[in-house]
Amino acid sequence: MPPETPSHAIDRLDDDDYPAYTMGRAAEMIGATPGFLRAIGEARLITPLRSEGGHRRYSRYQLRIAARARELVDGGTPIEAACRIVILEDQLEEALRLNEELRGGRAER
6 within a domain of the structure (yes/no): no
Reported pTM: 0.78
pLDDT at 41 over 50: yes
| pLDDT band, residue 109 (cuts 50/70/90) | low
66 within a domain of the structure (yes/no): yes
Contact 26, 46 (CB under 8 A): no
pLDDT in tens, 43-95: 999 999 999 999 999 999 999 999 999 999 999 999 999 999 999 999 999 99
Q: Which residue range(s) make up the domain with 72?
A: 15-106
40 within a domain of the structure (yes/no): yes
Residue 4 per-residue DSSP state: P
> Can you tell me the distance from the alpha carbon of 94 to that of 20, in angstroms, rounded to the nearest whole number?
24
Report the mean per-residue pLDDT for the chain: 89
Q: How far is CA 101 from CA 17, 31, 88, 96, in A?
A: 22, 35, 20, 9
99 within a domain of the structure (yes/no): yes
**What is the pLDDT at residue 46?**
95
The number of folded domains in the chain is: 1
CATH of the domain at 50: 1.10.1660.10
> Can you tell me the distance from the alpha carbon of 91 to that of 100, in angstroms, rounded to the nearest whole number?
14
